Amino acid sequence: MSTSVRYFLLGFLSLAIVVLDQVTKVYVMETMRLHESIPVVANFFSITYIRNPGAAFGFLSSSSSSFRFVFFGLTSVFAVGLLGTILVRMPKDDWMGRLSVAAILGGAIGNLLDRVRYGEVIDFLDFYINGYHWPAFNIADSAITVGVVFLILHFALEKEPEEAPVIPENRPS
């Protein structure tokens, strides 16, 4: 497969994640009231419209909005740039690693767009058991998580290239 086709496919994966993420968030915002919850699987999963001004698990959500805007804006732009650089510099035959990074990149861009447009991230996937809730998340968060898990597994299971054994010379004594 040519290099341009590979980059097209990786770009398409990232773009598909961004589009799916943004479309689902807009749909939730336009069809639900903030904090409204629609049960999908009783005592396990609901679609719940939540706005998260912080990071994962509400980290920094109580900080001032101007601090959060600068902090998350800078870290998100840095992360997107770093992920793009990693993606371009990865070995061309490292398809699993590149797909993983492309998924993480798509998720990072999706959440960055929320921060730029709304000053916070739109979450709506709400998993729970009775009253114990996992923090709500979205498609971008899912892509980041799946990408990171696959990248960790990929690097953990990656085999080192075997070196040719060193054979001592046979010299007469």
Active site residues: 123, 141
- CA-to-CA distance for 173 and 135, rounded, in angstroms? 73
Q: Are 124 and 25 in contact (CB under 8 A)?
A: yes
CA distance 35 to 12: 33
Residue with tokens 């996937």: 125
User: Which residue in 124, 161, 115 sits closest to 46, CA to CA?
Assistant: 124
